[in-house]
Amino acid sequence: MRWSYRIIRIAGTDVKVHITFPLLLGYLGLQAYHEGGTPAAAETLALVLGVFLCVLLHEFGHIFMARRFGVRTPDVILLPIGGVARLERMPSEPRQEFLIALAGPAVTLGIAAVLYGYLSAWGIHPTLLSAELDGSSLTTALMQVNVFLLLFNLIPAFPMDGGRVLRSLLAMRFGLLPATRIAARIGQCLAIVAAVYAFQHEGETMLVLIAVFVFFGAGAELAAVEMRARN
């Protein structure tokens, strides 16, 4: 059974959607409909689709920066926990990985800045980051989500963007394999902390999924680098 399906091809990269993504849309839309009817469902779906458009732009930040260093990206997959751009190979230098890893957050920062500037032009000055989304407008909520995604992605939990930045900085001093081992262990430790926190608090299912992704993703990346080192 196929788990992801191509929906479009952009600049030589296939954009794929994991089958769990439409399930997430259906679940959130139905939940919002029961709470506030059709208007609430439509607003929720618009926000979720807007967030994933921003996630896709974030991933293409990585993709276009990687292309500058001759690294192609065959596809990018949209998942309920975000997007994953699959590079055909690792960058040849730590500096290149550093720039590629930061390119995505730079795009997210740009989106948040543009949305904030748009709101400010209309005399609206929303809180940049809030525990609860400001329901005054879809634009405000989307801006706040992008600020959250920016800060969250920069957490040094390998293989997230912040973890890749950490790995690239360590690799400049210790080499790729030792740097990957250190970054992977840090990422897995943070994943365990996040999972423990999530299990102690109700309604943190998404955090559990992210913790699982980080823990096993870090292990898989470390195994791949170790295999290449042996060969």
User: What amino acid positions are annotated as catalytic residues?
Assistant: 59
Instruction: Specify which residues 13 forms β-bridges with.
Output: 10
Task: Identify the CA nearest to 144 among candidates 54, 81, 209, 204.
Answer: 54
Half-sphere exposure of 20 (CA within 13 A, CB side): 8
Q: Is 20 exposed, middle or buried (0-12, 13-18, 19+ CB in 10 A)?
A: middle
Q: Are 140 and 134 in contact (CB under 8 A)?
A: yes
User: Cα dist. 121→51, 125, 141, 192, 199 in Å?
Assistant: 22, 9, 17, 43, 42
Helix (H) / strand (E) element for 77: namely strand 75-79
Half-sphere exposure of 175 (CA within 13 A, CB side): 5
In three-state form (DSSP H/G/I as H, E/B as E, the rest C), the secondary structure along 142-184 is: HHHHHHHHHHHHCCCCCCCHHHHHHHHHHHHHHCHHHHHHHHH
